[in-house]
């Protein structure tokens, strides 16, 4: 018991410290990029007061924009104050799934950079079934989600097949397939099947009402069933990795492919199956985003969900639990960033600086360990992706 607690403690300690440190540096950047405050540098007391209040206000704005806004609660009641949190959850939902798509691949020793492309194909599949057909409500949602999962699963599985058959490195293939996907969606939105009648803008028709994911807390908030599905899938992925026979194979190949091979585990099978499932996960993210939030497919449907996923998975140290937390953190930073700009005039780009710093400190654990004098056990190694020769 104590041992497992220590282990999970150290798994979360480093990301947490990275997070704190990134906010600290972010605060310095906020101050030093503000000309008004820098003018006060000659009188240290005024400078420090101004800097302190600037940083305080900025992070308060991020908090208000992502979790709880007291002003809103005065107007709409205590629960109404949580409107920003609902926005955070809406943003986090697709991130959880793309994050899982990267995290699971890590466990099999694969580096899936392709969540972006897989997300796009998931969105295309769900959108097409969503607007083109008419089914009864529940069936329609299920079929549209399945279409997204399968289409994206095949797109991801293709990477696995290529690696298994030809040895093509998955990093290069997934990066290239991201380009293919983002250009493919531009093209397909101009085809007759996807173009809205009497429209020239590349935007698909909205999905039918029967294919939309139901809102959880009424129409005043955008939060939808997708978050429940995403959390359920995260539990499923946890089960897959740590309890299932298939996950045992995945982990074995990820940890030592030579030994796995010698014990009769088929590497091509694991590679293909992993990439298929990861593609399906990212695709489900795209499908949920389309059916729950966007309704209409546009070329920019994926935003940066697929790329942020890599950070989220790293932040979560490739565990499903950590990935969910990482996705919430990123969702919060993104929604909070908008308020930061409107409330304090600080550029929302600062949020991206903080995100980048978190990644940097996670990627350089030695640095964080040095700064905070943390001792870490050698065992907590869950990221097992290999380099070019791996």
Q: Binding residues for another protein, per CB under 8 A?
A: 239, 243-246, 248-249, 251-252, 255-256, 258-266, 379, 381
By three-state DSSP, how is residue 299 classified? Answer: coil
Residue 214, C-beta contacts closer than 8 angstroms, at least 6 positions apart: 224, 225
How far apart CA 19 and CA 362 sit, in angstroms, is 9
Task: Please name which of 329, 346, 363 lies closest in space to residue 29, comparing C-alpha atoms.
Answer: 346
Helix (H, G, I), strand (E, B) or coil at 204: strand
Nearer to another protein, 74 or 381 (CB): 381
Q: Which two tokens stand for residue 74?
A: 């005065």
Residue 78, H or E segment: helix 70-80
Nearest to 119 by CA among 271, 294, 305: 305
Do 236 and 104 meet the contact criterion of CB atoms below 8 Å apart? no
Q: Which is nearer to another protein, 10 or 57 (CB)?
A: 10
CB-nearer residue toward another protein: 75 or 381? 381
Shortest gap between Cβ of 246 and another protein (angstroms)?
Answer: 7
Q: How far is the CB of 258 from another protein (least distance, A)?
A: 5
**Inter-CA distances, 80 with 57, 215, 332, Å:** 22, 16, 17
* Rounded-to-integer distance, Cα 252 and Cα 107, Å: 9
Smaller CB separation from another protein, 68 or 248: 248
Pick the closer one to another protein by CB: 39 or 381.
Answer: 381
Q: How far is the CB of 378 from another protein (least distance, A)?
A: 8
Please tell me the distance from the alpha carbon of residue 26 to that of residue 18, in angstroms, as a whole number: 12
Alpha helices (H) in 81-225, listed in sequence order: 83-107, 115-132, 137-166, 170-188
Q: Across the strands, what pairs with 203?
A: 298
268, two tokens: 């091509």
249 vs 289 by CB, closer to another protein? 249
CB 116 within 8 Å of CB 253: no
* Minimal distance, residue 255 CB to another protein, in Å: 5
As given in the structure block, the two tokens for residue 138 are 């529940």
In the complex, what is the shortest distance from the CB of residue 167 to another protein, in angstroms, rounded to a whole number? 11
State the residue for tokens 């089960």: 239
In the bound complex, what is the minimum distance in angstroms from residue 388's beta carbon to another protein? 15
Nearer to another protein, 136 or 245 (CB): 245
Nearer to another protein, 42 or 388 (CB): 388
Nearest distance from C-beta of residue 101 to another protein, angstroms: 21
* Residue with smaller CB distance to another protein, 4 or 136: 4
As given in the structure block, the two tokens for residue 271 are 């590679």
């Amino acid at each position: 018991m104590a041992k497992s607690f220590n282990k999970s403690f150290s798994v979360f300690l480093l990301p947490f410290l990275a997070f704190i440190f990134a906010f600290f540096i972010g605060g310095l950047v906020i101050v030093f990029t503000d000309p008004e405050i820098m003018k006060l540098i000659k009188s240290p007391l005024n400078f420090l007061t101004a800097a302190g209040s600037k940083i305080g206000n900025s992070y308060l704005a991020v908090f208000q924009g992502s979790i709880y806004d007291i002003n809103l609660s005065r107007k709409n009641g205590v629960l109404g104050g949580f409107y920003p949190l609902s926005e955070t959850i809406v943003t986090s939902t697709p991130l959880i799934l793309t994050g899982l798509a990267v995290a699971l691949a890590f466990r099999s020793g694969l580096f899936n950079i392709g969540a972006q492309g897989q997300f796009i194909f998931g969105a295309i599949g769900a959108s097409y079934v969503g607007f083109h057909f008419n089914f009864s409500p529940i069936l329609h949602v299920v079929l549209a989600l399945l279409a997204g999962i399968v289409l994206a699963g095949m797109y991801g599985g293709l990477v696995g097949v290529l690696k298994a058959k030809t040895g093509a490195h998955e990093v290069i293939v997934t990066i290239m397939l991201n380009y293919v996907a983002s250009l493919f969606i531009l093209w397909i939105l101009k085809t007759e099947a996807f173009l809205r009648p009497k429209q020239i803008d590349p935007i698909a028709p909205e999905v039918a009402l029967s294919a939309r994911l139901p809102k959880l807390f009424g129409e005043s908030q955008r939060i939808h069933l997708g978050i429940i599905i995403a959390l359920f899938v995260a539990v499923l992925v946890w089960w897959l990795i740590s309890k299932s026979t298939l996950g045992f194979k995945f982990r074995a190949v990820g940890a030592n492919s030579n030994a796995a091979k010698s014990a009769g585990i088929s590497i091509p099978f694991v590679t293909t199956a992993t990439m298929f499932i990861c593609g399906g996960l990212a695709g489900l993210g795209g499908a949920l985003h389309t059916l729950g939030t966007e309704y209409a497919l546009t070329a920019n449907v994926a935003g940066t969900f697929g790329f942020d996923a890599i950070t989220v998975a790293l932040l979560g140290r490739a565990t499903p639990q950590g990935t969910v937390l990482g996705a919430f953190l990123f969702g919060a930073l993104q929604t909070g960033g908008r308020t930061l700009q409107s409330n304090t005039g600080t550029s929302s780009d600062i949020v991206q600086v903080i995100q980048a710093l978190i990644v940097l400190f996670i990627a350089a654990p030695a640095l964080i360990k040095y700064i905070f004098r943390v001792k870490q056990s050698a065992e907590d190694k869950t990221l097992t992706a290999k380099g070019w020769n791996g």
